[in-house]
Structure 1
Amino acid sequence: MALEPSFVNLQTIARSKSEDAVLLLAHGRFANAYYLAGYAVEIGLKACIALRFLAERLPDRRLVNAIHTHQLNDLILHAGLENILDERRSQNREFSDNWTRVCKWHPDSRYSTVDGFTAQRMVHAVSDSQTGVLEWIKEYW
């Protein structure tokens, strides 16, 4: 039986996926760069959600089932970050554009072809040090 990753492991995995996306982009592996960048955001949000669980309490079954999703907007809600996200988006246009771009990601993108421009924009939207979505998520895990 496989163990579920802890939030610390999820943080490490999210960072790793984002770094791998940068490397893949640099080597012309655009579709994989795009996919891993989006996946990094999903895992980062799940790290935020994992912090909400207490070892001494069983979590609500509906919540446990609900967080097994790839929908980033749903994960934002389960992480309790919707108001913080709205505030950040209203204060920073580039971050808001990055969030919009990242929300177009879905796990089926692993079956798609992606051009270099689209991949570069996605990797930037995730990993930019000032306005990147994963960089913002790191503030809350």
Structure 2
Amino acid sequence: MKISIGNDHAGPDYKHAIVEMLIAKGHEVTNYGTDTVDSVDYPDFAHKVATDVSEGKADFGIIICGSGNGIAMTANKHAKVRAALCWMKEIAALARQHNDANIISIPARYTSIPQAIEMVDTFLNTEFEGGRHQNRVDKISC
């Protein structure tokens, strides 16, 4: 699976741990995130990940910032992107099952690294249920 990941200064440690897990599972990872805690602008990284997902260069995206909100809002400006802010594995599963989310947004300041890894693993291994949810997903795009 091809996965793009991006993060701001709140998430370098999260990104490194997640990338390590993804590579160990055989995924191809494109890393757009910063590797330092020096302040950067999260939209710069969100746009890169969302572009990869929107254009089909990545199957899924992972974005990380302090709250997860701003980076998700930015990603959701792109066509074909459904970025879901997740803070527990159950939300990550529902984002895939019911919303066919293709980007997971992680709030680094409100989750632990083990939680983030568990959410990403759940997100990537959960299928969209389709059915009654497909009609709703179709209505997301304007």
Same fold (TM over 0.5): no
Superposition TM-score, scaled by structure 2 size:
0.29
Higher helix fraction (1 or 2): 1
Superposition TM-score, scaled by structure 1 size:
0.29
Computing the radius of gyration from Cα coordinates, the structure with the larger value is: 1
| Greater relative contact order structure (CA < 8 Å, 6+ sep) | 1
Higher strand fraction (1 or 2): 2
